């Protein structure tokens, strides 16, 4: 069965600094029409930086939509035309001060496919060299290091709530398990 929806009309109703909102009229597979509200996002990157001692650099920052401080893996948005690998190296350096000698691509993550086209490129980094952090202007972060096992426990207990962080922790854990097998 062809489940493809075809765009019949698109209207940009909001054009923000980061996000854009389109209201589209689509043809459904059964011939009827429907409306789709789509948040356009430039995409981003997320990295799990694993130190030689088995700890992972995480950051805590206030997330306005949730009105709380959230623990996350280092991440950030793509600049227009930016290569995801260049972006993830930049974000790792900005948020943790680290550079990495070994990188692994861990795939794409669609955080909310029901209403946004955001795509997050996931990476695993190790062989880390420490340096000074230099967050973006207006970015207030607290950096911590937590063991990978403790992060897994936080995923399972529900303490960690950030989707990209949860997905990448689980993917890296599986990667490491297979690497050791």
Which residues are known to be catalytic? Answer: 137
With vertex at residue 6, the alpha carbon angle to CA 3 and CA 11, rounded to the nearest 5 degrees, is: 140
- 79 in helix, strand or coil? coil
DSSP for 20-45, written as a single string: EEEEEEEE-TTS-EEEEEEEE---EE
Other beta carbons within 10 angstroms of residue 149's beta carbon come to 11
CA 84, 146, 71, 38 torsion-angle sign: positive
CA 141/CA 96 separation, integer angstroms: 10
CA 92/CA 76 separation, integer angstroms: 9
CA-CA distances (angstroms) from residue 140 to 49, 133, 165?
Answer: 19, 11, 18
| Beta partners for residue 81, in sequence order | none
């Amino acid at each position: 069965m062809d489940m493809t929806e075809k765009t019949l009309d698109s209207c940009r109703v909001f054009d923000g600094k980061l996000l854009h909102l389109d209201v589209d009229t689509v043809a459904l597979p059964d011939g009827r029409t429907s409306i789709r509200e789509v948040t356009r996002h430039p995409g981003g990157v997320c990295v799990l930086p694993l130190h030689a001692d088995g700890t992972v650099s995480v950051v805590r920052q206030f997330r306005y939509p949730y009105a709380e401080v959230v623990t996350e893996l280092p991440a950030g948005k793509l600049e227009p035309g930016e290569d995801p690998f260049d972006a993830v190296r930049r974000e790792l350096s900005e948020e943790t001060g680290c550079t990495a000698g070994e990188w692994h691509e861990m795939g794409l993550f669609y955080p909310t496919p029901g209403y946004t086209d955001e795509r997050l490129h996931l990476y695993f980094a190790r062989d880390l060299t420490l340096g000074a952090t230099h967050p973006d202007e207006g970015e207030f972060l607290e950096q911590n290091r937590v063991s990978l096992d403790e992060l897994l426990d936080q995923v399972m207990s529900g303490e960690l709530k950030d989707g990209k962080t949860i997905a990448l922790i689980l993917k890296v854990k599986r990667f490491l398990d297979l690497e050791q097998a």
